[in-house]
Structure 1
Amino acid sequence: MDTKPPSPPHVVIFPFPAQGHVNSMLKLTELLLEASLNITFLISAKDHDRLARFTTVHSHLNSYSGHFRFHVIHGLYEGPMVTEEQQSLIMAESLPKVVGPLLRNLLLDSQVTCLIADGFTDFPLDAAQGTGVPVISFRTISACAFWAYFSVPELIESGDLPIQGTNLDERILSLKGMEGFLRRRDLPSFCRSDINNKIFQQITRISRRTTEAHALLINTFDDLEGPIISQIQQHCPNIYTIGPLHAHLKARTSSKTTSSNSLFEEDKTCITWLDQKAPKSVLYVSFGSLATVTREQLMEFWYGLVNSGKLFLWVIREDLVLKQDDENKVPIELEEGTKERGYMVGWAPQEEVLAHPAVGAFLTHNGWNSTLESIVEGVPMISWPYFADQQINSRFVEAVWKLGLDMKDTCDRTIIEKTIKEVMEERKMEFIESANRMARLAKESINEGGSSYGNLNRLVEDIKMMGIGSK
């Protein structure tokens, strides 16, 4: 008697609805589709619409052997997400109310093998209770940032939190693995708030609940964050480090074209502009998809860029500058300096930009995707973190990985000009050598025999075993 072959495992993936989260979890989706798993990807109506408008992701994901479908979520708050408070509002109210029941119904009614849920939320753990479906928590931030989030109760117990006084350069000695270099100003931005603050309480609770998940998935690699991963492993023993995801995907799918996962329309004319520039001569400037600046800060950056004398490619989203009634006229010296040496776009194909030989440094907010993309391409960084995990990422960039300089908590044209010159002139070879070394380690991790390569294979096999166990 013929027996029907078992159907491939079916994985439900749920990202937090923001550019950085959706981007990295779509890359994970492709890697799992490449391994012939079936994927249902939950996505907000707004993000789904933007992907349909600006990318070919639908047709691209359906070209794999694994079956893929988007499950569009309606009824979510779809306004702007600029501040931590607004993100917290969505996390605390709209998402659990709308997505919680949807997730539970999917897990109960479908042949779901496992749920990979964004670790920025904890309600998926509740939705999965009693369904028999294992939950893998995926953190789209760095291991060092997650470890800082996780360690907040210990920071309170040691007296490091709440922060007392105004000296932000005081050392933090109670965060294991970071005792020698971490300062108050390097803690995640929510640590500067009252410990009874709603955001503070939510992030702490959610981070600690990661131990309830079947496993923890992190977009990093062992040679970059090994000592911190070892700290986390004492609490979450089953960890898959499979990053850098964007490079891992390219390595595994070399015969396929890649698709942009951008929720913004990319202006590719900047690549033509870069093509005309000398190697390592251009400073790329982008503060990601969420950061905002005041007009005063914009002008400080603008003067710093022009006064540095360097060529620059600057991403200025239409919502980057907080609306003010200030005079919008641009000083003539900035107009002339920009015409001579600058190029501005509303959004750039960032992976392509950072891989371009003309780019010599990256002035970044140190969002984790941006940081990893810069590391993979061996591009030194100038850090200006905005919020959340970016503060700690920027400290590791400067103090641990030696990949650039950190300008956090300043916005002064003189400092900006000086820092650009230091990274792109005075210490140029030092930073390039360090960045090239880390780029080599990143690429080794995702090739056969590398740590991330092996961990992805282990993840796929473990998911397949879950499927067998559920039959």
Structure 2
Amino acid sequence: MVPTPPPPTAALRRNIPHAIMISLPYQGHINPFVSLALKLASRGIAVTFVHLDHIHRRLSESHGAAAAADHDIFAEARQLSPELNIRYTTISDGLPLEYDRDQNGHTYFKYLVEDFPEIVDKFVGKFIADDVADSDSRFIHFLVADTVCSWPAAIAEKYNLVNVSFWTEPALVFSLCYHSDIMRQKGHVPNDNTTEVEINYLPGIKKISSRDIITILNDREGILVDCLTIAFNNVRKADFILLNTVEELEPETLTALSKYQLNYAIGPINFSKGLPTAAVSKSIWSESDLCNHWLDSKSLGSVLYVSFGSVVQIPQHELDEIAYGLLLSGVDFLWVVRAGTASGDGDVLPEGYEEKIRDSDRGLMVPWCNQIRVLESPAVGGFLTHCGWNSTVESMWCGVPMICRPVANDQPTNRKLVVDDWGVGVNLYDGGGSSPSVDRERIADKIRRFMNSDKVRDAASRVKETVRNAMAIEGSSERNFERRCASKDPERKEKYGLS
């Protein structure tokens, strides 16, 4: 049953733009969606932000909310910035709260593509009907949805909404998905990666190895690639696309895409200035408060931060070798040891490993942490990462170089950008991805050399300046956001109701 959305309030004035935002239920998508909602609201756009019930429960529990059902994740942000015109509500995805969406990842994503659109349709239809019935409100409605959703085009057309597609990853990954039909025609996807092929015919992409293609395009089960194909057929109907990237970092790819559709690089959106982003519950995991006290006891740039994100799994034998490689390196490290990181049912860490770390006082392991606060610490000199896009942009924002161990989805493509294009990271293994002969001694040697590399540190400093300049008042991302939110084009102004 679809819950009734909250009624319009006096704060939602007549004839103003109003964004209905529904985030995908994954950590890497929630963070930028929350930041975009706050940024839109800060520009005088009314926002109704929708989470799925099961994500709302996890957010509430991870932040210790006493009354989870009544927990408004934006309440504190509105107290800090009363001008923010933003409401929060939840809807069911149609499955029981107890259903294990993590263990049934592919099946659940297929459900979101095939069955969830009907629930969104009912929600939006009722929302629009209530607005029309309220003679004091009358909004100009936007639908702001994740690019990988299957339903925005149909729902926007049905209810005459402006269709805004938000891509939370780099432009290179978007372009690979957008042009996947060309690679399929040439037989380069799906690819079993036994033979590496150079792809040099895609618009705005000089060349890319088949090993660096987003792994979903090589999904031979068909579920994820079919879902992605549906989404990218629909994104061609969007009025415009917002991308969580930086114009100066991907100029050729963005320019090539602009020949097909309006697109605006507005990233990294998580670092928009003047917004109470920290006041909003975003993490679906409880964060340890031990990290920064421990980091304060360490010397400048001496600590390697290790985290493989919120979803991916790594083979147990490899995690064992990484664990002992860290110990052998002699480098201090802070490791996020999330339950479920190891493939299989065993413990993430080797037996007796935690005792060895405690005895040495060289390492700290936590189940989850506030990653930005950790990366901002002067003690952190490197980041061993899976190359998720949120982790990548956070590391670049803080000027922290990366050791890359990509696992799946967009991560191999992000690795290419980090290591090959921007030089702000190195590969954990030769070849860039997983290694058939993982060895703790080699890992230890790679860590030592990385932590003492001026070359990668200097590159990280340069990219940090580029990324921060983009988010400055006159920066490219800020200009692009203002162009989209305050168009001076009379035709677009009339269509979008913007001033």
- Give the TM-score of the pair, scaled to structure 1: 0.89
Alignment partner for residue 419 of structure 1, among 446, 465, 469?
A: 446
Residue type of the partner of 1:121?
C
Residue type of the partner of 1:172?
I
1:401 aligns with 2:422: yes
| Residue matched to 1:175 | 202
Residue type of the partner of 2:252?
P
- Deviation, structure 1 residue 328: 7.7
Alignment partner for residue 395 of structure 2, among 374, 385, 388?
A: 374
| Residue matched to 2:51 | 43
How do residues 172-251 of structure 1 correspond to structure 2 at under 5 angstroms? 172-180=199-207, 182-194=208-220, 197-236=222-261, 238-248=262-272, 251=273
Q: 1:13-42 CA distances to partner (integer Å, 9 max, x unpaired)?
A: 111111111111001111112122211111
Residue type of the partner of 1:188?
I
Return the alpha-carbon distance in structure 1 between the equivalents of residues 337 and 140 of structure 2: 42
Residue type of the partner of 2:398?
E
Alignment partner for residue 81 of structure 1, among 72, 88, 102?
A: 102
Return the alpha-carbon distance in structure 1 between the equivalents of residues 494 and 233 of structure 2: 25
1:456 aligns with 2:481: yes
Return the alpha-carbon distance in structure 1 between the equivalents of residues 103 and 485 of structure 2: 35
Q: Secondary structure at the match of 1:447?
A: coil
- Deviation, structure 1 residue 458: 1.8
Q: Secondary structure at the match of 1:387?
A: coil
Q: Indicate how the Cα distance of structure 1 residues 91 and 415 shifts in structure 2: closer, same or farther if over 3 A, else same.
A: farther
Unpaired runs of 5+ in structure 2? 1-11, 64-71, 132-138
Return the alpha-carbon distance in structure 1 between the equivalents of residues 287 and 266 of structure 2: 27
The Cα RMSD (Å) is 2.7
Residue type of the partner of 2:263?
I
| Residue matched to 2:363 | 342
Moved more, 138-147 or 337-346: 337-346
Q: Secondary structure at the match of 1:443?
A: helix
Return the alpha-carbon distance in structure 2 between the equivalents of residues 197 and 179 of structure 1: 28
Q: Secondary structure at the match of 2:256?
A: helix
Return the alpha-carbon distance in structure 2 between the equivalents of residues 83 and 400 of structure 1: 35
1:392 aligns with 2:441: no
Return the alpha-carbon distance in structure 1 between the equivalents of residues 338 and 198 of structure 2: 36
| Residue matched to 2:30 | 22
1:106 aligns with 2:127: yes
- Deviation, structure 1 residue 53: 3.5
Q: Indicate how the Cα distance of structure 1 residues 165 and 350 shifts in structure 2: closer, same or farther if over 3 A, else same.
A: closer
1:52 aligns with 2:60: yes
Residue type of the partner of 2:325?
G
Return the alpha-carbon distance in structure 1 between the equivalents of residues 225 and 157 of structure 2: 25
Return the alpha-carbon distance in structure 2 between the equivalents of residues 101 and 205 of structure 1: 21
1:147 aligns with 2:175: yes
**Identity of matched residues, %:** 28
Return the alpha-carbon distance in structure 2 between the equivalents of residues 395 and 76 of structure 1: 38
**Kept in 2: contact 1:52–1:58 (CA 8 A):** no
Alignment partner for residue 252 of structure 1, among 274, 278, 282?
A: 274
Return the alpha-carbon distance in structure 2 between the equivalents of residues 421 and 116 of structure 1: 45
| Residue matched to 1:295 | 316
Q: Which has the higher helix share?
A: 1
Return the alpha-carbon distance in structure 2 between the equivalents of residues 153 and 166 of structure 1: 21
| Residue matched to 1:279 | 300
Return the alpha-carbon distance in structure 1 between the equivalents of residues 447 and 152 of structure 2: 43
**Kept in 1: contact 2:423–2:459 (CA 8 A):** yes
Q: Secondary structure at the match of 1:348?
A: coil
Residue type of the partner of 1:244?
P
| Residue matched to 2:67 | none
Corresponding residue pairs, total: 457
- Deviation, structure 1 residue 88: 2.7
Residue type of the partner of 2:199?
I
Q: Secondary structure at the match of 2:399?
A: coil
How do residues 58-73 of structure 1 correspond to structure 2 at under 5 angstroms? 58-63=74-79, 64=81, 65-73=83-91
**Kept in 1: contact 2:383–2:400 (CA 8 A):** yes
| Residue matched to 1:135 | 163
- Give the TM-score of the pair, scaled to structure 2: 0.85
Q: Indicate how the Cα distance of structure 1 residues 50 and 326 shifts in structure 2: closer, same or farther if over 3 A, else same.
A: closer
Residue type of the partner of 2:265?
T
Residue type of the partner of 2:77?
L
